[in-house]
Amino acid sequence: MQPFKYNPNFNSGQFRHRITFQKLQSIVDELGQVRGQEWRDFTNAWAMIKTVKGREYFQAAISQSEKTSRFVIRYQEDIDTNMRIKYDGRIFDISEPPINDDEMDKTITIIAVEKGVSNG
């Protein structure tokens, strides 16, 4: 994990939500045999959370029965679409590769869909 690059203009007060990234990992028994998989905590991050709505919602071609959110965190290289986000007892599947905002290695934006949500 790459450390955060200091930027005096970076408003860290906007990053007030603590989220956990989880990764699906194999469960190995005492004999070294794989017995299944489970989600395990990978890393934590402070995030700014925004609900995707309106034009963004339709441009992303996302079903109306899903609640989509945008998580912005400090730049990390090791976040990918094979992970999920746990926040406030809710689970979000990462639906698109993380976006390196403005290619500046300062923040990344993650589009995620909340599991088990239906607006209909």
pLDDT tens digits for range 51-66: 876 555 555 554 555 7
DSSP 100: E
Q: Which residues pair with 71 in a beta bridge?
A: 49, 110
> Can you tell me the distance from the alpha carbon of 39 to that of 103, in angstroms, rounded to the nearest whole number?
30
Ordered by start, the domain boundaries in the chain are: 14-114
pLDDT tens digits for range 5-32: 544 445 667 888 999 999 999 998 888 8
pLDDT at 47: 94
pLDDT tens digits for range 57-106: 555 554 555 789 999 999 999 999 999 999 999 999 999 999 999 999 99
CATH annotation of 14-114? 2.40.10.270
pTM reported for the whole predicted model: 0.76
